[in-house]
A = this chain, B = another copy of it.
Amino acid sequence: MPDDLPAAASRRARTKTPKRSEPIDLDILPSLLGYHIRHAQIALWRDFVSSVGEPAIRSGMFSILVLSEANPGIVQTQLSQELDIDKASMVQLIDRLEALGWVQRRRSSEDRRRQGIHLTAEGRKRLKTLKREIVEHERKLTKQLSRTELAELISLLERIYPHEPRRART
């Protein structure tokens, strides 16, 4: 899950590859979806951290920013639910975004338990840059796929995890 994955792997951190003498037998691994998802996740993660200028931002925090921009005042439980992040973990992520000055919590006057999340002007500015970097990062990673193939890949992935029906987006 990685979720997310390692800590500061901006540069390809692992040790130099040794001579590969003979190819190894992968047995059933290549037939397992989990095996490929894991590798894809690692590749995406590595390119994400090296593509995003702001080292403090991880994919989870990016998603929070996007949802907060598109849904001003969204509350933490909604974010938790949509992003499949525990509410206790969400607190820490929002704490960090607030410490960076990118978002603000605003207590709701109707239901004083709730705190809506709002982007600050600074957050909006930074998110704009982030989005550009991340779209570029995605393009780099998926450049071997045609537009149709990418859509097909996403569509197949959506069928293996439970989620709310998506509204059509062009």
Contact = CB atoms under 8 A, between A and B. Distances in A.
A44 interface: yes
A144 B160 contact: yes
Interface residues of A, number: 77
B70 A13 contact: no
Nearest to A42: B84
Nearest to A18: B77
A94 to B, nearest CB: 16
Given A1-B3, A153-B153, A37 B27 contact: no
Given A1-B6, A26-B67, 18 more contacts: A1-B41, A3-B38, A14-B84, A15-B80, A15-B87, A20-B164, A26-B66, A26-B70, A27-B69, A33-B44, A33-B154, A34-B134, A35-B59, A37-B37, A40-B160, A42-B161, A152-B156, A153-B157
